[in-house]
Structure 1
Amino acid sequence: MKADPAVQRRLLDLAEIDAELARLAHRRRTLPEITEIGAAEQTERAKRDAQVAATTQLGDVDREVKRQEKEIDQVRARVERDNKLLQSGTVAAKQMTDLEHEIETLHRRQGALEDDLLELMERREALEMDVQHAEAELAKAQAAVSDATGRRDEAFADLETQETRASATRKTMLPQFPEPLLALYNRVREHKGTGAALLRSRRCGACRLELDRVVISQIKAAPADEVVRCEECGAILVRTAESGL
């Protein structure tokens, strides 16, 4: 394949644009914010689980408190009823004794229930603090996710601006190259990563390997418009005064 030496030299500009686009794409894939977001989201899930667990425990205790309060109210109501019967003077002596015994038993029951309720209230107070702490920790985790996501989006926007600019520059350059040369360049770039590179001091600018004397002699003997390639990586070798030929 043949191409004007000046056109071949312009391949280096195209290769530089493609290298920039490749760097931008790599940066997009490897932004530290992406890893940070993953870790922050994992922390957020753990904090949310802790908040749900604490809230569930508090809800269970609240239901137990209500049940206990209801039972205490029932005992108090029964004591009040029995006392009214005793004071009415309408009950027989034996029934009066039974009522007094029952009232005594109910008072003991009420005392035990109130002790249990006190323990539940103390436990509820501790669980409320746990819930508040869990909610604060969840809020911090959510803020961390939001902060990292915002920084990632800003980085993406900056990368998109650079990619758009580089892609536009690339598009304007393409008509400068003959279709066969451009097809070869693109094919090599897709398979090897670099489509064209400068031959500098007898070394390929793509794979960085120094070419042997035989290859250098062949390249030196090739016409200036001959498209030559690196035998190691396949990149189009662009010859200039720096090539050492």
Structure 2
Amino acid sequence: MGLKAAPEDQALLLELQEFDTRLQQLDHRLRTLPELARLAELASAGESLRRAVAEQNGALEDAQAELGRVESDVTVVEARIARDRGRLEATSSVKDVQALEQELAALGRRRDELEEIELVVMEKVEELETALSSIRLQLEAHETEAAATTTARDGAAASIEQERAHIAADRATVSAKVPTDLLELYEKQRARYGVGASHLRAGVSSASGVALNATDLNVVRAAAPDDVLLCPDSSAVLVRTAESGL
């Protein structure tokens, strides 16, 4: 003997199905919030920016160390020049004068070379500092957007969860009115096929969107009002109402 349920109890399944459809839609909205996609993009971009900051900072530190070495070499050469000039002023030996003058000339050339290198390295340091500052500004703007997007995501999710809680409460109220065996069938079919109840309206099953053929319609017409039927296309509980066109 097939399952029996009063027509008004079967009609409650349509309300349940509407609630469940809305809950599924809300779950989909929650999973596909545009902020989630943007946050994923920002996370990837943030990693790239942080790597760029680290690489640029490393390059700057190397350039600064190089500048420090060149400046140290310049200091050493200038100290030697000062020393040799002092010795030159203090000596009366022609031989020492010649040697010191030659060394001073060599030291002067070396200082000129080092100063040219120093200028090049200083320009490199300035360029790297400018580039690093630019990347840091980009990262700061990126983090600001990420924070704002996170706030927007949380707000949208909270709104959806609130709506979901209201619908779930209404669903619980309705499901409590449905006979246990009928509710179990509804839940079973919904879990298996995705839809638990289908409204037969003007001969068309709302779950499948397909019109029942003549044979199936004859079966439905021959069934008692309290017979629980299944849609031949969607396998959902087929609910008959005054709109069914029977």
Tell me the residue number matched to 2:105: 104
The answer to whether 1:170 aligns with 2:148 is no
Q: Within 5 A, what are the aligned runs for 1:22-171?
A: 22-89=24-91, 92-171=93-172
What's the offset of the Cα at 1:43?
Answer: 1.8
Q: Deviations over 1:29-62 (max 9, x none)?
A: 1111111111122222222222222222211111
Q: Distance in 2 between matches of 1:122 and 1:16?
A: 70
What's the offset of the Cα at 1:179?
Answer: 1.5
The answer to whether 1:237 aligns with 2:238 is yes
Q: Distance in 2 between matches of 1:148 and 1:205?
A: 39
Q: Distance in 2 between matches of 1:35 and 1:57?
A: 33
Q: Distance in 2 between matches of 1:118 and 1:132?
A: 21
More off after superposition, 229-238 vs 136-145: 136-145
Name the SS for the 1:2 alignment partner: coil
Q: Distance in 2 between matches of 1:241 and 1:171?
A: 26
Q: Distance in 2 between matches of 1:140 and 1:191?
A: 48
> What code does the residue aligned with 1:203 have?
V
Q: Distance in 1 between matches of 2:192 and 2:64?
A: 67
What's the offset of the Cα at 1:215?
Answer: 1.0
What's the offset of the Cα at 1:144?
Answer: 2.3
What's the offset of the Cα at 1:26?
Answer: 0.8
What's the offset of the Cα at 1:151?
Answer: 1.4
Unaligned runs of 5+ in 2: none
Tell me the residue number matched to 2:185: 184
Length-normalised TM-score, structure 1? 0.95
Q: Distance in 2 between matches of 1:209 and 1:143?
A: 51
Q: Distance in 2 between matches of 1:173 and 1:191?
A: 21
More off after superposition, 202-211 vs 162-171: 162-171
Name the SS for the 2:176 alignment partner: helix
Name the SS for the 1:176 alignment partner: coil
> What code does the residue aligned with 2:89 have?
Q
Q: 1:7 aligns with which of 2, 6, 9?
A: 9
Q: Distance in 2 between matches of 1:191 and 1:39?
A: 36
Unaligned runs of 5+ in 1: none
Tell me the residue number matched to 1:217: 218
> What code does the residue aligned with 1:212 have?
N
Tell me the residue number matched to 2:19: 17
Q: Distance in 2 between matches of 1:145 and 1:175?
A: 44
More off after superposition, 102-111 vs 92-101: 92-101
